[in-house]
Amino acid sequence: MVLSLFSAGYAASVAAHDLKFKLLFATNGAGATDVWEVSCLSSSTLGDSARLVANIKDFSPDDSNFISLVIYKDGKAVTSTDLVGGNDAYSPLVSVNAGNGVYTMIANHTRVGNQVYFIEYHCENAAGDHTPTTVPTTPVQDQ
Amino acid sequence: MDNSFAKTDADNNRVSSILVKYRPKLNANIQLQVEQASLKAVLSELSRVTGAVIHYSVLTDVFITATCVADNLKAVLQCLLGESQNIVYQYAHNKGQAGMPSEVWVLGSSLAGLTLQEDRGGVSCQGDRADLAAIPKNTKQADEKLVAQLIVKLESADPKQRADAIADLATKIAMDNIEVDNILLMAMGDKSARVREQVLFAWVYRNGRAAIFELQQALQDPVASVRLKAVDLAQDAAVLRLALLDGDALVRQLAEMKLNALNK
């Protein structure tokens, strides 16, 4: 378990779709995994959602414990890993192109420890316009 | 009539904005844009601009961000509150349902646990039922069978098995199943911290912000990881402020960070 959970500074994100200060718990071991579900919807002016775009930030200053985000829908998946914990940078933006519907976002890490993460996400249409996106208040699996 | 304002919430230093556009003489649609505002303020503003008196009993205290555009108040309220919300409309005698309702009643207290989606696209929105939608609509018999299986699993000596059973109870059984609530309440006293953490998640998953009392209680747990879970799940400043007094530095740190984020 790390001695300190958090980096010293916290810069507020300007993105509206984000999950902040979420934890993977040491009690659930290195296999601790959180599962979130987000729906991408269609809009009468912007059309259908084409994809979900997201990335993850490791807020705990323990570089040996990498945190990753997996986006999954309809048999398609992609992974993004934050290789430096405790700074303000997110992992690379990744996306799954699977249209409207429910996308699953999975947060996991490589070692045992209480680890804080942030996720930024949004749905887009084919032109890159932000389409209606649901905002989950609780995960569907919380470890 | 157009209306627009931005204000700072006195308790949270939160910048809120509510914009309602409605031009009745042009028979134009109603445009509602809300940024980090309380539902009470949004309904009040909708009422003021449209002239319809909106009645309700209990409201969620969550701050919402939403965009709703529709050609009548009924559709805007459905967008804002969700289509399953039970709402009664009274229209002026001489206009039928084509005009603006004179009075609206949002029935029941289900607004207390409402969560809402954000719509950055600015066109349509619906109530966010993502959490509830994750629960398959089993028959009552199927639920009873699954609950019986999970109760057996809860008697396992392995805390992981018990924690998994709690997670399944939370997410796979209908929300109105009282037996699940009773099982969860009993499991709050489980000897394993891992199980108690999972019970907290389950309780918040099923009760939303109404779980504030259980979260406050969990802050009295002897194991720091359970108290940390309570802070992790907390969305209310009251719980987070209580956690600032915790004996564990990590619990205090997380509470302070989340409080700061709430106030930004």
B204-247: per-residue pLDDT in tens? Answer: 998 888 899 999 999 999 999 999 999 999 989 999 999 999 99
The per-residue DSSP string of chain B comes to -EEEEEEEETTTTEEEEEEEE--GGGTPPEEEEEEEEEHHHHHHHHHHHH--EEE-S-----EEEEEEEESSHHHHHHHHH-TTS-EEEEE-TTTGGGS-EEEEEE-SSGGGG--B-B-SSSS---B--HHHHTS----HHHHHHHHHHHHHHHT-S-HHHHHHHHHHHHHHS-TT-HHHHHHHHHHTT-S-HHHHHHHHHHHHHHHGGGGHHHHHHHTT-SSHHHHHHHHHH--SHHHHHHHTT-SSHHHHHHHHHHHHHHH-
Task: Report CA dihedral (B71, B77, B82, B83) to the nearest 10 degrees.
Answer: -60
Find the CB nearest A43 among B117, B121, B232.
B121
Q: How many A-B residue pairs are in contact by the CB < 8 A criterion? A: 119
Question: Which chain B residue is nearest to residue A3, measuring alpha carbons?
Answer: B250
Higher pLDDT pick, B86 / B251: B251
Q: Which residues in chain B touch residue A17, judged by CB atoms under 8 angstroms apart?
A: 118, 120
Sorted by where each begins, the domain ranges of chain B are: 2-128, 140-263
Contact B225 A25 (CB under 8 A): yes
Find the CB nearest A138 among B126, B131, B253.
B131
pLDDT of residue B208: 83
pLDDT, one tens digit per residue, over B45-100 is 888 888 888 887 766 666 677 777 676 788 788 777 766 667 777 776 655 555 67
* Chain B: closest CA distance from residue A56 (Å): 17
- Output the CATH code of domain B140-263: 1.25.10.10
Find the CB nearest B232 among A22, A41, A136.
A22
Find the CB nearest B134 among A10, A122, A140.
A140
Domains and CATH numbers, chain A: 20-131 (2.60.120.380)
Q: Is this complex's ipTM strictly greater than 0.95? A: no
Q: Which residues in chain A touch residue B122, judged by CB atoms under 8 angstroms apart?
A: 43, 45
